[in-house]
Chains A and B, each alone.
Chain A
């Protein structure tokens, strides 16, 4: 780094400009990561929180399974009895509009992502405040997301159209949502009333249905037989995220933007160091004439690249974190340290690759050009 550091100081204006570009990209990287994890949280944190490994959907539903799939009682019973299956239980999922009809925020419109489950199942929430689920009676446990709208334990909500009355019996601590809507947990009977939009007694057939079979499978369990017998297909948990509305589109858009960002950054860094290396050609020839091995010059140049990238990325990440902290709560935004570290690492790594291609030119410089006559 004998020369690298002195060159950095001497040409600080030029390096500062390039560093600023990398730093701005790092800021954008943090904000995009935050937005991506925020969107993921808003889209699937409800599913992520469920203690399951797989979900089995009606095999006829190939997309948006959570709204299109229906499974029957025989299905979850068959799953529960199949080898390799630790646990299988019905899971209901439906989106409902409701209005607060009793409580402080009376008249307030509330959207609910209702998760239906047996009150004694491990899927059922353990509320931080109030009571958990019980069969019948229209009780729901709301997540923090809905509480943020002003809904309190003891409030009564009335579902639009069906006029099903829901009493908030409990509140969970977590902010869990599904499809950008706060999750409300309900017992299966209440869920079915909401799902079919029917108050009063449910028809016989409806009482035996759910959206999917929530599964806990043993590692490597072969479930093809039970899938075939029940006409269902088990997807692992991560795959089911794609079945939630908008999730795939959101996450692939984010991935695309980030990919382009890293590519642009690598190209900018590569272009800068190409120009820089070409400009340094006479000095490189001189170094070689003085007896510097190519390895010495390459190491010096790469150390310079990494120093610039690390400083610029660190500065940009710090600014991004400051901006991001201010955005939390105002946008679907959450700062996940592993995602930010990955983003910064990629920026430095790909930038180094871009610059490495550029500084490779050092190997081709002929020390002979240091002599006047051939210059």
Chain B
């Protein structure tokens, strides 16, 4: 594994001094007697180009960590910074825009849109942002090539294998040159060999594009590709 480095960022100014920084983040779900502490004073800093894995059993708060880091959910307390911007200080609208521009999500089982071809999946985030131009199309073709889906450009999700879907999801997440890449259980639908390949690809892309990458997984077998591994138990990060 190559040394994580900040030199590979395609847009260094977008990332700012740091990629992702969570400070003393707490998240309580529900209220009263049914309240659950999903995140318990979590601190996490991920530098641009760094690949951090968070492992833990289901229910440990891994998904909550992604939800808060990705601006899908407001923490109960604490701050989240992305590319130098304090995500927790933004309005809902600004948070949506921040997700669109600075955060790349790779969802469990990739979560592609059924009616779009692989190429269109990649173009969608830029269409949403009103930036669908020739440069975007070139970047889409480049990323499709990079994740090894050149022969699948015109295929729709139902024609793809689980591994291919995962790679398409990764390429889509990288389309907007995000500062932060958040990966949710990338191997849940894959066998052992494919899992290793998928995680290797994530690591490779992280280093090439200089994203601050957080991958949550319960699969301890795929952690060795990560630069750093944290364990999550009952909302606490170690």
Contact = CB atoms under 8 A, between A and B. Distances in A.
Interface string A283-299: 10011111111001000
A251 to B, nearest CB: 46
Nearest to A292: B128
Contacts of B66: 371
Contacts, number: 84
Given A293-B93, A371-B66, A371-B107, A6 B188 contact: no
A372 B96 contact: no
A254 B167 CA distance: 60
A10 B116 CA distance: 8
B19 interface: no
B129 interface: yes
A229 interface: no
Interface in B67-118: 67, 70, 72-73, 93, 96-101, 103, 105, 107-109, 111, 113-116
A208 interface: no
A290 B128 contact: yes
Nearest to A366: B72
A156 B73 CA distance: 92
Contact of A370 (B58, B62, B101, B107): B107
Interface string A275-311: 0000000110011111111001000000000000000
A291 B63 contact: no
Nearest to B109: A372
B67 A10 contact: no
B101 A291 contact: yes
Main secondary structure of the interface of A (DSSP, over half): helix
B125 interface: yes
A3 to B, nearest CB: 7
Contacts of B109: 372
A46 B185 CA distance: 79
A11 interface: yes
B86 to A, nearest CB: 18
Nearest to A5: B115
B124 interface: yes
Nearest to B98: A291
A372 B188 CA distance: 10
A371 B72 contact: yes
B100 A372 contact: no
Interface in A180-228: none
A283 B72 contact: no
A289 B105 contact: yes
Contacts of B123: 2
B120 A6 contact: yes
Contacts of B127: 2
Contacts of B101: 291
A7 interface: yes
Contacts of A150: none
B156 interface: yes
Contact of B184 (A11, A288, A372): A372
A19 B28 CA distance: 47
Nearest to A374: B63
A373 B58 contact: yes
Given A371-B67, A371-B108, A6 B73 contact: no
A289 to B, nearest CB: 6
Nearest to B38: A373
A3 B188 contact: no
Nearest to B59: A373
B129 A291 contact: yes
Interface of A: 2-3, 6-7, 9-11, 282-283, 286-293, 296, 367-368, 370-375
Given A283-B114, A289-B72, 5 more contacts: A289-B99, A290-B105, A368-B67, A370-B72, A373-B63
Interface of B: 58, 62-64, 66-67, 70, 72-73, 93, 96-101, 103, 105, 107-109, 111, 113-116, 120, 123-125, 127-129, 156, 184-185, 188
6 contacts: A2-B123, A9-B115, A290-B99, A291-B103, A293-B128, A371-B107
A-B pairs, 6 with minimum CB distance: A291-B100, A372-B108, A373-B63, A10-B115, A291-B99, A6-B115
